[in-house]
Structure 1
Amino acid sequence: MTLALTGTIPAQPLRTAMIEQLRASQRLGAASFIVTIYGDVIEPRGGLLWMGTLIELCARVGISETLVRTAVSRLVAAGRLEGTRKGRRSYYRLTEAAGSEFAEAAERIFTSSPPRTAWRFVLGQDASSDLAGRGFVALAAGVLFGPDDGGPVPGIAFRANWQQDADGLRALAAAHWRLAERAAEIEAFSARFGALEPPLAAGPPDPGSALLARLLLVHAWRAIVLDDPRLPPEALPEAWPEPAARALFARLYTGLSGAADSHVEASFSGLGGRFSATTTATKRRLAGLLGP
Structure 2
Amino acid sequence: MAQGNEADGRIAELVENILAETPLKAASFIVTIYGDVVEPRGGVVWIGNLIDTCAAVGISETLVRTAVSRLVAAGQLLGEREGRRSYYRLSKAAGSDFAAAARIIFGGPQAESWQLVHLRGADAEERMQSLERAGYARLDPRLAIGPAREVPGSADVLMLRADSPDPKALAAFVDAYWDLAPHAAAYHRFLAQFALAARLAETSPFTPAAALTMRLLLIHRFRTVLLHDPRLPAAALPKDWPGMEARRLFSAVYRLLSPLADAHIGRTFVSGAGPLFAITGETEGRLALLETQAA
Q: Does TM-score exceed 0.5, indicating one fold?
A: yes
Q: Residues 171 and 236 of structure 2 are in contact (CA less than 8 Å); yes or no, is this contact kept in structure 1?
A: yes
Distance in 1 between residues matched to 2:119 and 2:56, nearest whole Å: 49
Q: Could you say which residue in structure 1 is the equivalent of 2:199?
A: 198
Verify: 1:288 aligned to 2:284, yes or no.
no
| 1:243 CA displacement | 1.1
Three-state SS of the structure 1 residue aligned to 2:24 is coil
Q: 1 or 2 for the larger relative contact order (CA 8 Å, sep ≥6)?
A: 1
Q: Residues 121 and 143 of structure 1 are in contact (CA less than 8 Å); yes or no, is this contact kept in structure 2?
A: yes
- Matched AA of 1:177: W
Q: Could you say which residue in structure 1 is the equivalent of 2:163?
A: 161
Q: Could you say which residue in structure 1 is the equivalent of 2:234?
A: 233
Verify: 1:142 aligned to 2:142, yes or no.
yes
- Matched AA of 2:227: L
- Residue from 95, 99, 105 that aligns with 2:101: 105
Residue correspondence of structure 1 range 136-285 to structure 2 within 5 A:
136-149=136-149, 151=151, 152=154, 154-164=156-166, 166-285=167-286
Change (3 A) 1:131 1:264: same
Q: Which moved more, 1:20-29 or 1:30-39?
A: 20-29
Verify: 1:37 aligned to 2:33, yes or no.
yes
- Matched AA of 2:16: E
| 1:63 CA displacement | 0.9
Residue correspondence of structure 1 range 86-101 to structure 2 within 5 A:
86-101=82-97
- Residue from 74, 77, 80 that aligns with 1:78: 74
Three-state SS of the structure 2 residue aligned to 1:277 is coil
| 1:119 CA displacement | 2.9
1:83-128 Cα deviation digits (max 9, x unpaired): 1001111000111110111011001111213342233242554475
Q: Residues 264 and 275 of structure 1 are in contact (CA less than 8 Å); yes or no, is this contact kept in structure 2?
A: yes
Q: Residues 55 and 64 of structure 1 are in contact (CA less than 8 Å); yes or no, is this contact kept in structure 2?
A: yes
Q: Residues 113 and 161 of structure 2 are in contact (CA less than 8 Å); yes or no, is this contact kept in structure 1?
A: no
Distance in 2 between residues matched to 1:81 and 1:12, nearest whole Å: 37
1:154-188 Cα deviation digits (max 9, x unpaired): 43333221133x33422332333220111111011
Three-state SS of the structure 1 residue aligned to 2:259 is helix
Distance in 1 between residues matched to 2:145 and 2:275, nearest whole Å: 49
Scaled by the length of structure 2, the TM-score of the pair is 0.88
- Matched AA of 1:243: M
- Matched AA of 1:251: A
Distance in 1 between residues matched to 2:45 and 2:114, nearest whole Å: 42
Q: Could you say which residue in structure 2 is the equivalent of 1:132?
A: 132
Distance in 1 between residues matched to 2:159 and 2:264, nearest whole Å: 50
| 1:153 CA displacement | 6.0
- Overall identity of the aligned pairs, in %: 44
Distance in 2 between residues matched to 1:141 and 1:45, nearest whole Å: 43
Q: Could you say which residue in structure 1 is the equivalent of 2:3?
A: none
Distance in 1 between residues matched to 2:142 and 2:40, nearest whole Å: 42
Three-state SS of the structure 2 residue aligned to 1:196 is helix
| 1:215 CA displacement | 0.3
Three-state SS of the structure 2 residue aligned to 1:149 is coil
1:54-102 Cα deviation digits (max 9, x unpaired): 1111111111111111111110010000010011110001111101110
5+ long unaligned stretches in structure 2: 1-5
Q: Residues 45 and 279 of structure 1 are in contact (CA less than 8 Å); yes or no, is this contact kept in structure 2?
A: yes
Q: Which moved more, 1:189-198 or 1:201-210?
A: 201-210
Q: Could you say which residue in structure 1 is the equivalent of 2:43?
A: 47
Verify: 1:66 aligned to 2:68, yes or no.
no
Distance in 2 between residues matched to 1:195 and 1:62, nearest whole Å: 21
5+ long unaligned stretches in structure 1: 1-10
Q: Residues 113 and 162 of structure 2 are in contact (CA less than 8 Å); yes or no, is this contact kept in structure 1?
A: no
Higher helix share: 2
- Matched AA of 2:94: A
| 1:24 CA displacement | 2.1
